[in-house]
Amino acid sequence: MKTTSNPNPSTTAFPAVFNKIQSGKLFNTNNLITSLNPESESNQIEYKNIINSISIFQTFLLEYYKYINFNSSLTFAASQQIEYLFSLLYCVSHKGGWSIMNGNNYWPLISKYFNSLQAWKLRQDYDKYLFAFEKTWNPSSKFDDDTNDKFLTGINPSLMKTVDFYRPSLLANEITSVLIHSFYDEDCIVIPEMANKFLKINIEEFSIDRLRTMTMPLQYSDKSFTLDKLLCMNSFYTEFPLKEKLPLYYEISEKLLESIHWNSSTNLLRYIPETPGLSSPLIIILKNSFFLIGGQSYTSLNGVYITLYGKCEWIGIPQAALKALVKKVRKDQGVDLYDGSWRPDEKYLLINNIEFFYTLTRSGDIFMAKSDIVYWMYSELGVICQWFMLPKNRMSQISDSYYKTKDKQHKVNFPLLAVEYMNMHLPDVDMEIFALLKKIFVESIDEGYWQGIFIKETDDIRTCSLCGKDLVWRYFRCNKCRIQKDVEGFCLSCKNSHKCSEIENVEKFSSVELEKLYMRLDKSNESHQAQYALKKVLIREPHKGCGDKILLDTTFCYVEEKFDLPKNEKQIQWGMNSPCKKKTNNVSYLDVDECYKRKGMKKQKIREAMLNPLSGPRFNYVVDMKKKEQEADLAIVEIPRSKRKTNNPLSSLVKKTNNPELSALISIDRKKELHMKNNIENKNVEER
């Protein structure tokens, strides 16, 4: 997963403005105006803002030199590019700090303030020179002192990966199905404001206020509640199939692009029984809680998540880092990562050297992610619509993922999906998919199943209740355990170790039908009638949604791209009066039993999870998290009490630099300043 565009050697040089600084023009009016407010050419800048910024700059200088403490690798940059570092810190603080910059992948958006220095370079410089400084100095995002003392120097900030944000350029005028399919190949991607601004879904219909007018009962902890009742609680998690509210269902269904629709002709999940949250949309409502989704059992399906209300935070662990984290969590916290009672935070992952994706979404954003990454989604109050896709052109990747985890339980019974698809489409199936599906199906039929007399099944049982493996053709059931222990059916290997005597042999279809299917698979060019006996799923018609492309409104502008630096004092909260606050992230770790009790899950599901935590059902649990004390969008740059001076903040600089232009700046009025600026500009022109 790349985080930004590739390195380009020609852009590793610092912007031209720093050459000016090095040539002795540091602190003249002209470069202060341009570097502190890059849009000054079109906007008037208030004189007092410059003074204000300089006072912060002075503090920054003092604090930064104290921080680098003669560290040779940092001192050089500090002496050569201190104003660049200041501008970078100022920009990032203004957007809420390093984590929020990464979570929204804002780096490409600030590039214009740094002579188009590339996003990866800005991030790299920030990680190297300013990350640790921010974590000790910025009151809104600093780590606690204990963490800083013990771990800060060992932390590698590049472990936090940004997720690609698709922000169409002015040149792009449409979103096509080709583009959407390219998103499926990404590990994860956010398309900001796609649902509301591009697809024109009326997300207002999904706001908490609108949803609370619904009278439908919602499940939480094995009980039914109205949303109003749930909202009185400190935290909850609940979900319902979107189909239960038809007007809401159509609001999304009719406006989605065909290529992203759960009933898309290219989505092979149409060939499994309709399962909300897997093959059809599920609405999730949560308050101060989270859910865990993804992992090997999802065989790399593509998850689609529309944030319909509120803000969500996503932490994703790629497969490569997962093993180490599972081990670490078991050792440190004594919990199984997959049981859903535990959630990592940024600090924990950084300290333990675990690579992770971090992203933030807000209402209207669509987040798409391959599900072999394990995700925690957290929201203080949010509504999300979620389903999975199995795009035809990813079938080979997905079958790889299936074979790698063949002895584990899967969310999708692939052999039965293969039967359903091939039975319906032979002989007109795409040859590449056909070969993969045929292999999956043929290999799933074990020799041992051919012996004995079997009766036809009454229910479509697809998973072994004991080991979780796929049931494809023949299986067994025990009339005693069915009633007493919820054991619906089990596979041959579980039968061999089953001690009861009341075992029945059942089959999904007869051996004659199976032989016939084999014959059709071998002569896949010949036309034969579909076998009625093999049909287990009511296949939904492909849905066109709003078509295969949408035109973009060229006048559209992202809310988040209004990225101007603050221009008046009201926008800048310098934190003069606020005491230094520590960031508090109190996640409560609860024991597993308590967690199961409160999740309100069926006993059977819990047993499945106990037996095979890797592939258990999706869990969710609630954490107590102290509300963020600061609004994310406010920059708080606190000036330490000892450094606050009542005299003119520029006086010390004036003495030090002995720059006549700077002393002039203190007493100059606006008219003179502009005059001086023009003079400098003219001089520059003449010099050229």
Residues near Zn ion (CB under 5 A) are 464, 466-467, 478, 480-481, 490-491, 494, 500
- Give the closest residue to 133 by CA, choosing from 82, 80, 186, 189: 82
User: Token pair 């060939």 is at which residue?
Assistant: 271
The three-state (H, E, C) secondary structure of 136-176, written as one string: HHCCCCCCCHHHHHHHHHHCCHHHEEECEECCCCCCCCEEE
Q: Positive or negative, the Cα torsion across 285, 289, 294, 298?
A: negative
CB of 601 to Zn ion, least distance (A): 21
User: Between residues 244 and 446, which has the closer beta carbon with respect to Zn ion?
Assistant: 446
Provide the terminal-to-terminal Cα distance of the chain, rounded to the nearest Å.
Answer: 44
User: Between residues 429 and 467, which has the closer beta carbon with respect to Zn ion?
Assistant: 467
User: Between residues 122 and 491, which has the closer beta carbon with respect to Zn ion?
Assistant: 491
CB of 501 to Zn ion, least distance (A): 8
CB atoms within 10 A of CB 34: 16
User: Between residues 479 and 678, which has the closer beta carbon with respect to Zn ion?
Assistant: 479
State how far the Cα of 46 lies from the Cα of 44, in Å rounded to an integer: 7
CB of 408 to Zn ion, least distance (A): 12
CB of 613 to Zn ion, least distance (A): 16
User: Between residues 440 and 478, which has the closer beta carbon with respect to Zn ion?
Assistant: 478
User: Between residues 284 and 471, which has the closer beta carbon with respect to Zn ion?
Assistant: 471
573 conformational bin, left if phi > 0, alpha if psi -120 to 50, beta if neither: beta
CB of 296 to Zn ion, least distance (A): 18
Strands (E) across 310-439 are located at 311-317, 356-362, 366-370, 374-389
Q: Positive or negative, the Cα torsion across 598, 599, 603, 607?
A: negative
User: Between residues 188 and 464, which has the closer beta carbon with respect to Zn ion?
Assistant: 464
State how far the Cα of 18 lies from the Cα of 25, in Å rounded to an integer: 9
What is the DSSP-derived secondary structure letter of residue 265?
T
Using only the alpha carbons of the chain, give its radius of gyration.
Answer: 30
291 burial (CB, 10 Å; 0-12 / 13-18 / 19+) is buried
Cis preceding-peptide flag for 566 (omega within 30 of 0) = no
User: Between residues 466 and 595, which has the closer beta carbon with respect to Zn ion?
Assistant: 466
CB of 147 to Zn ion, least distance (A): 46
Contact 312, 377 (CB under 8 A): yes
CB of 482 to Zn ion, least distance (A): 8
- Give the closest residue to 636 by CA, choosing from 201, 179, 92: 92
User: Between residues 172 and 500, which has the closer beta carbon with respect to Zn ion?
Assistant: 500
User: Between residues 480 and 645, which has the closer beta carbon with respect to Zn ion?
Assistant: 480
CB of 108 to Zn ion, least distance (A): 50
State how far the Cα of 446 lies from the Cα of 472, in Å rounded to an integer: 10
Tokens of 429: 């199936």
User: Token pair 């295969």 is at which residue?
Assistant: 548
User: Between residues 268 and 491, which has the closer beta carbon with respect to Zn ion?
Assistant: 491
Query: For residue 684, what are the contacts with CB-CB under 8 A and spacing of at least 6?
Result: none
CB of 487 to Zn ion, least distance (A): 7
CB of 278 to Zn ion, least distance (A): 21
- In whole angstroms, how far apart are CA 19 and each of 16, 80, 122, 432? 5, 10, 18, 58
CB of 471 to Zn ion, least distance (A): 8
Tokens of 53: 């910024």
